């Protein structure tokens, strides 16, 4: 009898297994494919290698400003793919080694949950006190009529050995934005057709606008309120606000994902699902069935690796009898590229809608010394706070290293630091992190390097 049976070897399953083992549990992890899951094999890691390549290409174009003469001779997709495979293999091997060193048994095969305490893998039945489901997500089937032969999935994009000439992107979320940024930076013609008014509808409007400008500067044609209806004779037919638009491209990017939450026994046991298809869990990552927990992409919502990992830690602790609460308010989001985004908490619009009395502060990269000396002045920090209490409600950063800088805000929110406390701090100079402190100081009206307020 195991203490915990974990289903899935992605960032969620991996974290759940190790945490349960650290708490002295006897743990088995079931994985039907390769260790690493979406993150390592076809998500975060390969996509960030591609974006690093694109970013280096952009940086190289600026090398002359720093006295370096370079001749850019071309771009070798195959070399990037080889790097993604090498790094992904190394990480997956490291994961297997860590599971082994924690004494975790790994069973290869498809797990089917038979009861709250048993999982079948082929002919073998594993018995456990608790089950943690971390079955992740997969690409949803493409539903665009007429798209056969034209679709480029994210899996295919990350394994491409030559660049398409032109691509239509329709996903307004982070994966769509990253793919549009990547393809445009590498020289593809990118048309970005948005079902709504803007990219990143769940993020602060100012961040979305800044990233949209960055995309436009790289040649992306953004078409708001244009939904892809069908593909006809090689042309994409888009339903615009007033009229139909037609666009001819080599490829249409397909990145829509769906949680893997059915087809392996949970339905029959009465485990509930949310409207997005994700497994429904409470603040302890417990499902409606006693003894079954779920974590990560299979629960829908923000489908991100660090979320999968944090939820999995919570699920494992609860499964091992250590009460733990999943802090969903601390979910940070990021977009990588030369211009990055990092955010946590509520956008200004969301805080307004929640009835909070909101005050904001902001600070542009353009007057940060480090951004100036590096020639990376596109960006800003925006702070959203409660005007009465000084509670930090959200922080939104667009610009170089935003994905790292947002960690400051996550920590501040985790420790329930107020705007005033954050603003009193100071950082090394010259550095991008000075802009974060300045953003907080502006919320209180005393950012030193901004023109005097009204
Ligand atoms: C292109 C792309 C870029 C991304 N970039 C980022 C990023 O930069 N940052 C970020 O945080 N997130 C990113 N993500 C999302 C991230 O990859 C996922 O959020 C993360 O992998 C989720 O982890 P998980 O463990 O929940 O699921 P997965 O990583 O999907 O792992 C689930 C595992 O379960 C296995 N499995 C499923 N069913 C069964 C079964 N019945 N029995 C046994 N095994 C089973 C699967 O084979 C899989 O290995 C990206 C995703 C994509 C597609």
List, for residues 24-47, the tens digit of each pLDDT value.
999 999 999 999 999 999 999 999
Q: Does 361 contact ligand 1 (Cβ within 6 A)?
A: no
CB of 403 sitting under 6 A from ligand 1 = no
pLDDT digits (tens, 9 = 90+) for 271-318: 999 999 999 999 999 999 999 999 999 999 999 999 999 999 999 999
Residue 453 has pLDDT above 80, yes or no: no
**Which residue among 138, 304, 343 has the greatest number of ligand 1 atoms within 8 angstroms of its CB, and so is best to mutate?**
304
CA 68 to chain CA centroid, nearest Å: 35
Task: Phi first, then psi: give them for residue 30, nearest 5 degrees.
Answer: -110, 125
> Ligand 1 center to residue 451 CA distance, Å?
46
Atom of ligand 1 nearest to the CA of 121: 42
What global pTM score does this model have?
A: 0.97
User: CATH fold of 2-139+258-328, please?
Assistant: FAD/NAD(P)-binding domain (3.50.50)
Burial class of residue 381 (count of CB atoms within 10 Å of its CB; 0-12, 13-18, 19+): buried
- Which residue has its alpha carbon closest to ligand 1 atom 2? 43
Whether the CB of 303 sits within 6 Å of ligand 1: yes
> Is residue 95 helix, strand or coil?
helix
Question: For ligand 1, atom 30, which residue shows the shortest CA distance?
Answer: 136
User: How far is ligand 1, taken at its centre, from the CA of residue 386, in Å?
Assistant: 35
Considering only CA atoms, which residue is closest to atom 7 of ligand 1? 44
340 CB near ligand 1 (under 6 Å): no
Q: What is the pLDDT of residue 234?
A: 87
User: 244-248 and 105-108 as β-strands: parallel, antiparallel, unpaired?
Assistant: unpaired
pLDDT digits (tens, 9 = 90+) for 92-149: 999 999 999 999 999 999 999 999 999 999 999 999 999 999 999 999 999 999 998 8
User: Is the per-residue pLDDT at 241 higher than 90?
Assistant: no
Find the mean pLDDT for residues 343-368: 97
Fold held by 151-255: FAD/NAD(P)-binding domain (3.50.50)
Structure confidence at residue 337 as a pLDDT band (50, 70, 90): confident
Distance CA 383, CA 381 (A): 7
pLDDT at 430 over 80: yes
Q: Which residues are catalytic?
A: 429
User: Which protein residue's CA is at the shortest distance from atom 45 of ligand 1?
Assistant: 8
- Closest ligand 1 atom, residue 11 Cα: 25
Q: Decide: 44 in ligand 1 pocket, CB within 6 A.
A: yes
Question: Mind listing the pLDDT tens digit for each residue in 44-63?
Answer: 999 999 999 999 999 999 99
Question: Which architecture, in CATH terms, is 340-443?
Answer: 2-Layer Sandwich (3.30)
Ligand 1 near 46 CB (within 6 A): no
The reported pLDDT for the residue numbered 251 is 97
Pocket probe for ligand 1: among 136, 157, 300, the residue whose CB has the most ligand atoms within 8 Å is: 136
Ligand 1 center from residue 346 Cα (angstroms): 25
Please give the C-alpha separations between residue 81 and each of 135, 159, 251, 401, 420, in angstroms, as whole numbers: 26, 6, 19, 24, 47
CB 119 within 8 A of CB 111: yes
Q: Output the pLDDT for position 332.
A: 98
Same-fold call for 2-139+258-328 versus 151-255: yes
Residue 380: pLDDT over 90: yes
5: pLDDT strictly greater than 80: yes
Cα-to-centroid distance, 135 and ligand 1 (Å): 8
Residue 5: name the closest of 159, 83, 115 by CA: 115
Which two tokens mark 56?
A: 């280096």
How high is the pLDDT of residue 286?
Answer: 98
Domain ranges of the chain: 2-139+258-328, 151-255, 340-443
- Average pLDDT value over all residues in the chain: 97
Nearest 5°: phi and psi at 258?
A: -135, 145
């Amino acid at each position: 009898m195991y203490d915990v049976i974990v289903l899935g070897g992605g960032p969620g399953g991996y974290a759940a297994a190790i945490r349960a083992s650290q708490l002295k549990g006897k743990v088995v992890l079931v994985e039907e494919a390769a260790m690493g899951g979406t993150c390592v094999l076809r998500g975060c890691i390969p996509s960030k290698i591609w974006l690093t390549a694109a970013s280096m290409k952009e940086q190289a174009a600026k090398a002359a400003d720093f006295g370096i003469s370079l001749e850019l001779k071309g771009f070798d997709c195959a070399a990037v793919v080889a790097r993604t495979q090498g790094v992904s293999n190394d990480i997956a091997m490291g994961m297997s080694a860590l599971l082994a060193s924690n004494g975790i048994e790994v069973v290869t095969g498809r797990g089917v949950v038979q009861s709250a305490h048993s999982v079948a893998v082929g002919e073998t039945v594993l018995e456990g006190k608790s089950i943690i489901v971390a079955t992740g997500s997969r690409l949803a089937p493409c539903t665009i009529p007429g798209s056969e032969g034209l679709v480029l999935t994210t899996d295919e994009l990350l394994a491409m050995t030559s660049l398409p000439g032109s691509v239509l992107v329709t996903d307004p979320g982070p994966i769509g934005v990253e793919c549009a940024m990547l393809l445009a930076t590498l020289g593809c013609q990118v048309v970005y057709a948005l079902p709504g008014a803007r990219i990143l509808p769940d993020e602060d409007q100012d961040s979305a606008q800044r990233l949209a400008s960055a995309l436009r500067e790289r040649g992306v044609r953004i078409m708001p309120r244009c939904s892809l209806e069908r593909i006809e004779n090689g042309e994409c037919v888009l339903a615009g606000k007033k009229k139909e638009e037609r666009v001819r491209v080599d490829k249409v990017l397909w990145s829509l994902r769906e949680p893997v939450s059915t087809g392996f026994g949970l339905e029959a046991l009465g485990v509930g699902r949310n409207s997005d298809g994700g497994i429904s869990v409470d603040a302890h990552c417990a499902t409606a069935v006693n003894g079954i927990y779920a974590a990560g992409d299979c629960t829908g919502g923000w489908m991100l690796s660090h979320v999968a990992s944090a939820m999995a830690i919570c699920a494992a602790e609860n499964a091992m009898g250590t009460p733990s609460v999943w802090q969903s308010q601390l979910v940070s989001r990021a977009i990588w590229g030369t211009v990055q985004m990092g955010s946590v908490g509520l956008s200004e619009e969301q805080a307004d809608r929640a009835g909070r009395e909101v005050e904001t502060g902001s600070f542009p990269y353009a007057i940060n010394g480090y951004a100036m000396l590096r020639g990376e002045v596109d960006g800003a920090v925006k702070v959203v706070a409660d005007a009465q209490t000084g509670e930090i409600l959200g922080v939104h950063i667009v610009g170089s290293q935003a994905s790292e800088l947002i960690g400051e805000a996550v920590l501040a929110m985790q420790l329930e630091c107020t705007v005033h406390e954050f603003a009193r701090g100071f950082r090394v100079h010259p550095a991008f992190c000075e802009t974060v402190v300045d953003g907080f100081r502006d919320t209180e009206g005393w950012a030193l390097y901004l023109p005097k307020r009204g």
